[in-house]
C-alpha cells in the first residue's frame, strides 16, 4: 500500500521556538534547573523511585500552600482542570452555590456550577475591584441554603486581589464550604490555607510556580474529603473522581488511575524546591519589590493602573492604555522588536489595558528594566511625551528606597 504524502508535511522540520521574555499573564520563563530536570529519562508512574518523589512533591506543595491537608497534590491538567476538579466533586445536582464574579475567571466558576447541575447565585463586582464581602454576606442571608461559596483570590484578568480570609469566614459562619481560585496568587502572594481555613483550593504550574503548563496543584480539607465520600450520586467525571484519585495520590496505596505526566512532575518538584530554597516569605517579597519598581517606572511615563493600590497584585499589573494609543500595536511591537510578550485585556477590558506579569522566574530586575525601556521607546515613537531614561531612573530610585528601608529594618532588629 502506497503511503500518501500530504503537501503540508513535506516542509516540516524540527520546531525551535524563539527566545521570548515572558511578561504576560502566563506562562512564565522557566528556570534552567527546571528545564534540566524535565529532560531526565522517563520512568514508570508506579516506579518506587517515582512514588518516593510523589511524596516529596506533596510535602513541597503543602509548604507552598501552608497547609497540613493530607490531600494536597497536582492534578494532571492545567488550572482549568483543577477548577473543574473542585466543582465536579463538591457540587451535586440541585446544590446552590454563591459565586463571586469580578472578572473572567469568576465567570468560569459559574459555568462549572451549572454544568454540575447546581444553581449559581451570582455576586457581581466591577472588573478591577475586589470581591465585596458585604455583598457576599447579603447573598448568604437571602440564600441560607447555599452550600458553597466560590471566588477568585487573584483575578488574572484584572490584577485585583480579594480578601480570601474574610470571605472564607463569612462562608463558614453560614455553614458553607469555600472553593478558592489561587491560580495567579500561589507562590507570588501569601496563600495561607490552614490559617484562613480554606476548604478547597486550586492553582496552576505555569504562573508564579514557573513550571511548564499542564499541572494544577489542589488541596482539600478533611471536611471536603468526607463530604465527597458521603455523596450518594456518582461523580459525573470518571477522570476527576476524587474517590478514584485517592487511590493514586493517597497516603497508603498507589493504584493505577491514569498515566501521570512524569517529566512534568519532575519539573514541578524542582520548581517548588527552588521556592523552598528561596524561602516562601522571600519569594513573596521578591514579587512585591519588583512590582514596586515596575510601577514607579510606569507612573513616570504617565501610565495609570486599573486597580486601586491596596488591591493590586504584585505579579499581575493591569495598566491602562493611554487615550489614542493602539494597545494591540504596542504589544505587537514589543513582541516583534524586543521579543517581549505582555497580555491584552479580556472581556470589557479588551483594548483598554495591558497585563504585565512579574511571575516566578520572570520576576527579575533585568526584566523590569527591559520592559520599561522597550515600552517607553515604543510609546515615545508613537508621540507620547516620554523622556529617555526617566522610567528607568524612577525604577532604580524605587529599588534604592526599598533597599534602604530593608537595611533600616535589619539594624533595628539587631
**Is 48 inside any structural domain?**
yes
Q: Which of 225, 257, 276 is the last residue of a domain?
A: 276
Mark whether 253 and 115 lie in a shared domain. Answer: yes
Q: Strand, coil or helix: what is 212? A: coil
Contact between 316 and 154 under an 8 Å Cβ cutoff? The reply is: yes
Contact between 372 and 391 under an 8 Å Cβ cutoff? The reply is: yes
Beta bridge partners of 156: none
CA torsion 103→280→215→72, rounded to 10°? Answer: -100
Mark whether 136 and 207 lie in a shared domain. Answer: yes
What sign does the dihedral 237-242-243-246 (CA atoms) show? positive
What sign does the dihedral 304-305-311-314 (CA atoms) show? negative
Within a 13 Å sphere around the CA of 34, how many CA atoms are in the beta-carbon half?
24
Query: Which residues fall within 8 angstroms of residue 225, CB to CB, at 6 or more apart?
Result: 71, 242, 246
Neighbours of 5 (CB within 10 A): 8
Q: Which of 242, 276, 310 is the last residue of a domain?
A: 276
Mark whether 176 and 68 lie in a shared domain. Answer: yes
pLDDT attached to residue 10: 66
Mark whether 318 and 235 lie in a shared domain. Answer: no
* Residue 96 dihedral angles phi and psi, to the nearest 5°: -100, 125
Written as tens digits, the pLDDT of the chain (414 aa) is 777 776 676 678 899 999 999 999 999 999 999 999 999 999 998 888 998 999 999 999 999 999 999 999 999 999 999 999 999 999 999 999 999 999 999 999 999 999 999 999 999 999 999 999 999 999 999 999 999 999 999 999 999 999 999 999 999 999 999 999 999 999 999 999 999 999 999 999 999 999 999 999 999 999 999 999 999 999 999 999 999 888 888 765 678 888 889 999 999 999 999 999 999 999 999 999 999 999 999 999 999 999 999 999 999 999 999 999 999 999 999 999 999 999 999 999 999 999 999 999 999 999 999 999 999 999 999 999 999 899 999 999 999 999 888 888 878 877
Q: Which three cell numbers stand for residue 65?
A: 500552600
Q: Which of 249, 276, 303 is the last residue of a domain?
A: 276
pLDDT attached to residue 117: 97
Q: Which three cell numbers stand for residue 381?
A: 515613537
297/386 Cα distance (integer angstroms): 11
Number of domains in the chain: 2
**Is 375 inside any structural domain?**
yes
Mark whether 381 and 246 lie in a shared domain. Answer: no
**Is 12 inside any structural domain?**
no
Contact between 97 and 147 under an 8 Å Cβ cutoff? The reply is: yes
Contact between 27 and 206 under an 8 Å Cβ cutoff? The reply is: yes
Q: Over the Cα atoms of the chain, what is R_g?
A: 23
377/265 Cα distance (integer angstroms): 40
CATH number at residue 181: 3.40.640.10
Mark whether 208 and 226 lie in a shared domain. Answer: yes
CATH number at residue 362: 3.90.1150.10
**Is 101 inside any structural domain?**
yes
Mark whether 111 and 126 lie in a shared domain. Answer: yes
**Is 351 inside any structural domain?**
yes
Beta bridge partners of 219: 72, 201
DSSP string across 263-295: HHHHHHHHHHHHHHHH-HHHHHHHHHHHHHHHH
Task: Quote the domain boundaries for residue 69.
Answer: 32-276
pLDDT attached to residue 246: 82
pLDDT attached to residue 361: 98
**Is 255 inside any structural domain?**
yes
Beta bridge partners of 52: none
Largest CA distance in the chain: 82
Q: Strand, coil or helix: what is 73? A: strand
SS3 content of the chain, % helix, strand, coil (to 5): 45, 15, 40
pLDDT attached to residue 9: 62
Mark whether 152 and 287 lie in a shared domain. Answer: no
Mark whether 208 and 306 lie in a shared domain. Answer: no
Mark whether 264 and 352 lie in a shared domain. Answer: no
**Is 336 inside any structural domain?**
yes
| Helical residues (DSSP H) of 217-363, grouped into ranges | 222-229, 242-249, 262-278, 280-300, 327-338
Mark whether 364 and 271 lie in a shared domain. Answer: no
Neighbours of 184 (CB within 10 A): 29
Q: Are strands 316-320 and 353-357 parallel, antiparallel or unpaired?
A: antiparallel
Beta bridge partners of 183: none
Mark whether 322 and 359 lie in a shared domain. Answer: yes
**Is 5 inside any structural domain?**
no
Amino acid at each position: 500500500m502506497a503511503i500518501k504524502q500530504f503537501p503540508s508535511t513535506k516542509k516540516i522540520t524540527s520546531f525551535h521556538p524563539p527566545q521570548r521574555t515572558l511578561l504576560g499573564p502566563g506562562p512564565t520563563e522557566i528556570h534552567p534547573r527546571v528545564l534540566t530536570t524535565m529532560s531526565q529519562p522517563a520512568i514508570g508512574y508506579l516506579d518506587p523511585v517515582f512514588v518516593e518523589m510523589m511524596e516529596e512533591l506533596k510535602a513541597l506543595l503543602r509548604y507552598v500552600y501552608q497547609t497540613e491537608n493530607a490531600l494536597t497534590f497536582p492534578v494532571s491538567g492545567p488550572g482549568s482542570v483543577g477548577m473543574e476538579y473542585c466543582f465536579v466533586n463538591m457540587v451535586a445536582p440541585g446544590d446552590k452555590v454563591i459565586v463571586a464574579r469580578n472578572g473572567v475567571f469568576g465567570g468560569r466558576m459559574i459555568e462549572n456550577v451549572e454544568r454540575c447541575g447546581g444553581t449559581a447565585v451570582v455576586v457581581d463586582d466591577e472588573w478591577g475591584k475586589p470581591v465585596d464581602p458585604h455583598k457576599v454576606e447579603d447573598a448568604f442571608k437571602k440564600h441560607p441554603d447555599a452550600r458553597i461559596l466560590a471566588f477568585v483570590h487573584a483575578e488574572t484578568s484584572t490584577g485585583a486581589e480579594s480578601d480570601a480570609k474574610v470571605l472564607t469566614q463569612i462562608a463558614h459562619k453560614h455553614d458553607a464550604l469555600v472553593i478558592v481560585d489561587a491560580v495567579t496568587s500561589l507562590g507570588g502572594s501569601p496563600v495561607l490555607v490552614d490559617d484562613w481555613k480554606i476548604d478547597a483550593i486550586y492553582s496552576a504550574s505555569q504562573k508564579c510556580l514557573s513550571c511548564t503548563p499542564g499541572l494544577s496543584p489542589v488541596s482539600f480539607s478533611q471536611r471536603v474529603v468526607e463530604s465527597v465520600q458521603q455523596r450518594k450520586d456518582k461523580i459525573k467525571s470518571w477522570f476527576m473522581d476524587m474517590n478514584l484519585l485517592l487511590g493514586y495520590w493517597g497516603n497508603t496505596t498507589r493504584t493505577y488511575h491514569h498515566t501521570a505526566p512524569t517529566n512534568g512532575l519532575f519539573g514541578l518538584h524542582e520548581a517548588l524546591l527552588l521556592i523552598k530554597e528561596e524561602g516562601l516569605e522571600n519569594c513573596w517579597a521578591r514579587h512585591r519589590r519588583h512590582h514596586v519598581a515596575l510601577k514607579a517606572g510606569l507612573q513616570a511615563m504617565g501610565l495609570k493602573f486599573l486597580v486601586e493600590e491596596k488591591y493590586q497584585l504584585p505579579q499581575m499589573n493591569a495598566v491602562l492604555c493611554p487615550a489614542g494609543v493602539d494597545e494591540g500595536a504596542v504589544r505587537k511591537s514589543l513582541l516583534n522588536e524586543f521579543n517581549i510578550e505582555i497580555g491584552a485585556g479580556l472581556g470589557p477590558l479588551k483594548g483598554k489595558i495591558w497585563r504585565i506579569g512579574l511571575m516566578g522566574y520572570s520576576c527579575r530586575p533585568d526584566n523590569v528594566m527591559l520592559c520599561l525601556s522597550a515600552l517607553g521607546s515604543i510609546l515615545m515613537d508613537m508621540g507620547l511625551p516620554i523622556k529617555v531614561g526617566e522610567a528607568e531612573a524612577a525604577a532604580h530610585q524605587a529599588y534604592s528606597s526599598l533597599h534602604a528601608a530593608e537595611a533600616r529594618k535589619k539594624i533595628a532588629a539587631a
